[in-house]
Amino acid sequence: MFKKYTLAKKYITTAIAFFLAFTSITAFAGSLQDAKNEKNQLELRKQEIESTLAGLESKKNDIESFVREVDAKQKEIEEKMELLDGKLTKAESDLASTKEELAKNKDDAAKQYEIMKRRVKYMYENGTRGYIDTLFDSDSMADFLNQTEYMSKIAAYDAKVLEKYNKACEEVAATESKIENQIADMSVMQEELEVEKTANEKLAAEKVAQIEEYNRLIAEADEEKAAVLTKIDDKQDLIDKIEAEIRRKEEEERARKAEAERQRLSKETKANAEKLLNGGFIWPLDGYSRISSYFGYREEVMAGSGTFHSGIDIPAPQGTPIHAAASGTVAAAGWHWSMGNYVMVYHGGDIYTVYMHSSKLLVSEGDSVKQGDTVALVGTTGMSTGPHLHFSIKLNGNYVNPLNYVSY
């Protein structure tokens, strides 16, 4: 069965791969929802099985209690039967001894009775002559009386001994009857215990049946739960594969759109750049057009400045507004030891404008600005000897002469 399941799983995986390769994102979304719904159904089934297992676990406590009760009862019955067997064996042994004693006493009594009977017979048959003979043979009346008394005592002795034996026989017979009654009672008790034992053995058999049924139900539930968990894992694998394929296709779509947008922006940027480079910039300072230092190499420079001047310097009073020469995005805004407070604006098409030595910055990195917006105020920060604006244009990574692209 496991081999069949592995083979089926292999086919499913192959089918999934084929399906993912030729299916649209919309179809994936539908398949994904179906897989999630099926997984949810399996999760519900798993919960039902776990509930069944919990119920069986509760039933297990009842079975354990029943097992303990049956086993305890069985032990109790066996102990009673063992004790009763011991008493019965002893009673039977006592009865055998009593019977032997009774037989002996009866034999002794019979013998004594025979002796007494012969003696009485003899005395009866020879009693008169015997008394006369005794009288004539006696030396005196006292001797005769003594002999007569002796004969009476012998007769009394015989009667007493016989009575003793008879009484002993009666006592032993009574003991025998008592033991026989005890044995009869114990036999009844033994039969009752046998009946109770048989009934408890039926309960024991039921106990075994219940344990087997409980174990069977537990095994079936565990097996089904394992199968459901495997199916849940399979569904999750399918969901993961579909989601991964959806992400891949979405990423492809995003990349396609991004490339299309990039190409569109590139065309737009090129068009804007051409427009800017064809007189699209405005002068950054209103009312101030004198240039104190032009673009290019210069002979007289201040300490710390380079011989190449990357822009033009336009003197203006401290605090004069500095306007963006064109619309764009603030690429940088901060302080530099040479540039002082500066703003760099990106206009697309690898075109930047730079505004240096400001007394105050009015924009931050990432801000969007429109042509003519005030981005800073004229100052003399950094390597500067007086209030002015150093204005630069950077094209394709290189500084170019601003006067080629902007006029006042």
Number of H-type helices and E-type strands within the chain: 4, 12
> At 203, which amino acid appears?
L
Dist CA 341 CA 355 (whole Å): 8
The pLDDT, as a whole number, for residue 303 is 45
**Tokens, residue 168:** 């002993």
Answer yes or no: is pLDDT of 268 > 50.
Answer: yes
Q: Bridge partners of 346?
A: 329, 352
Q: Bridge partners of 377?
A: 321, 360
What is the 3-state composition of the chain as percent helix, strand, coil, each rounded to the nearest 5? 65, 15, 20
CB 403 within 8 A of CB 283: no
Instruction: Give the residue with greater pLDDT, 180 vs 370.
Output: 370
CB 220 within 8 A of CB 76: no
The pLDDT, as a whole number, for residue 319 is 98
CA 46 to chain centre: 14
Answer yes or no: is pLDDT of 347 > 50.
Answer: yes
The pLDDT, as a whole number, for residue 333 is 98
Map out the domains of the chain with their CATH numbers. 7-244 (1.10.287), 296-404 (2.70.70.10)
The torsion angles phi and psi of 405, rounded to 5 degrees, stand at -130, -10
CA 16 to chain centre: 32
pLDDT tens column, 210-252: 778 878 888 888 888 899 899 999 989 988 998 898 899 989 9
pLDDT tens column, 134-179: 555 656 666 656 656 666 777 677 677 767 767 877 887 788 788 8
